[in-house]
Homo-oligomer: A and B are copies of this chain.
Amino acid sequence: MAAEHDDKILYDLAELFKVFGDSTRIKILYSMFENELCVNDIAKLLNLSQSSVSHQLRILKTSKLVKFRREGKSVYYSLDDEHVRAIISMGMEHVEE
């Protein structure tokens, strides 16, 4: 317990949860729960500025929580994998009690 190996992993784990730990980012993630969306769609849907959404998407991208593809002038974002969905769902269960 508390070996140096764990230290690194636990640090990364905290960093991961930190990304989920902001309501703007969670809303953005949740908006993509069913299907991909482009930046502007997210901004309009959640009533956020384009800049704000873009900044947060960068963080989500860096953390590998979302992936994206460009199509013409738009960039479509979606959840990176099932882990992301699973983590959110698991948290939901705890919160909804």
Where the two chains meet, the residues of A that have a C-beta atom closer than 8 Å to any C-beta of B are 1-2, 6-7, 9-23, 25-27, 30-31, 34, 45-46, 83-84, 86-88, 90-96
State the CA gap A2–B13 with chains docked (Å).
Answer: 28
A13-B26, A18-B22 known; 18 new pairs, CB 8 Å cut-off, are A1-B45, A2-B31, A9-B96, A10-B23, A10-B27, A11-B23, A13-B20, A14-B21, A14-B25, A15-B23, A16-B21, A16-B91, A17-B21, A17-B91, A18-B21, A20-B20, A83-B93, A87-B91
What B residues does A86 contact at CB under 8 A? 90
Copies in the complex: 2
Interface SS majority for chain A: helix
B23 in contact with A92 (CB, 8 Å): no
What B residues does A21 contact at CB under 8 A? 14-21
Q: A84's closest neighbor in chain B, by CB?
A: B94
A2 in contact with B27 (CB, 8 Å): yes
State the CA gap A1–B58 with chains docked (Å).
Answer: 23
